[in-house]
Amino acid sequence: MNKVAIVTGSAGGLGKGIAERLCKDGFRVVLHDINEALLNKTVSEFEEKNFRVIGVKGDVSKREDQFNLVKKAVAAFGRLDVFVNNAGIDAVSPFLEITEEQLNRLFNINVNGVVFGTQAAAEQFIKQETKGKIINACSIAGHESFEMLGTYSATKHAVKSFTHSAAKELAKYKITVNAYCPGVAKTKMWDRIDEEMVKYSDDLKPGEAFEKFSSEIALKRYQTPEDVANLVSFLASDDSDYITGQAILTDGGLVYR
């Protein structure tokens, strides 16, 4: 295989799991993150496994950085086939305590980053005159709004909307746009969510917020990076060529849409 994929926010967490799966699928992968030290560590780890990767530091909230990311991928590997808009952040707070800073930060990264990444990838696919796949990180919070996660939920609803709009407009170029919607995973993001929810609760103890969400999963276990990577692997493959504009839940049975 000579296909090339970019995965933003892939130095750790779900992004790292997605990048590793795509490497195993035979992709040449561009790892990306704003945390340069962690990015370099992940690149070295992947190179030790004989994966064909490069690392690019960047800030997804900056349009110039997203276009530069694509340029570096093409300079290194000659083409682009898949762009995974994975990078994102969370915030936990009561609705009445949502601040201007919180709104701006989460929308800049979670929403603007997806828009800029989609634009950069689509421009390259059109230039190549090839089909292309854009895969966005949505969430169960893009289907259902959760208390204490108002801003995060709003950004993920926006990601779902942009996925739909982009899919409709880019279909004529044979570019598909889909999203994966994870649920409750044992990641650093969920560790932070748990920690913050405890701060705002008189009843919860550390770990209990995570356990509360996990206990409601029909398949009776929390999510792993591999669970998410399995879906992204399919969306990145030729087998998904007839699927576009979808925000697919991968949550073990938690939110039903």
pLDDT in tens, 143-158: 999 999 999 999 999 9
pLDDT in tens, 175-206: 999 999 999 887 777 777 777 777 777 677 77
Among 163-172, 189-198, 244-253, which is the least confidently predicted range? 189-198
pLDDT in tens, 39-57: 999 999 999 999 999 999 9
Two structure tokens written together for 166? 């982009």
Does pLDDT of 163 surpass 90? Answer: yes
Q: What is the pLDDT of residue 80?
A: 98
The domain ranges of the chain are: 4-183+224-250
Q: What is the pLDDT of residue 49?
A: 98
Q: Is-catalytic flag, 152?
A: yes
Instruction: For tokens 């995570």, name the residue.
Output: 210
pLDDT in tens, 88-141: 999 999 999 999 999 999 999 999 999 999 999 999 999 999 999 999 999 999
DSSP assignments along the chain, one per residue? ---EEEETT-SSHHHHHHHHHHHHTT-EEEEEES-HHHHHHHHHHHHHTT--EEEEE--TTSHHHHHHHHHHHHHHHS---EEEE-------B-GGG--HHHHHHHIIIIIIHHHHHHHHHHHHHHHHTS-EEEEEE--GGGTS--TTBHHHHHHHHHHHHHHHHHHHHHGGGTEEEEEEEE--B-SHHHHHHHHHHHHT-SS--TTHHHHHHHHT-TTSS-B-HHHHHHHHHHHHSGGGTT--S-EEEESSSSS--
- Between residues 212 and 236, the one the model is more confident about: 236
Architecture (CATH level 2) of domain 4-183+224-250 = 3-Layer(aba) Sandwich (3.40)
Q: What is the share, in percent, of the chain residues with pLDDT greater than 70? A: 100
Does pLDDT of 213 surpass 80? Answer: no
pLDDT in tens, 7-18: 999 999 999 999
- Between residues 193 and 59, the one the model is more confident about: 59
Q: What is the pLDDT of residue 196?
A: 78
* Active-site annotation holder among 152, 173, 180, 200: 152
Two structure tokens written together for 90? 């969370």
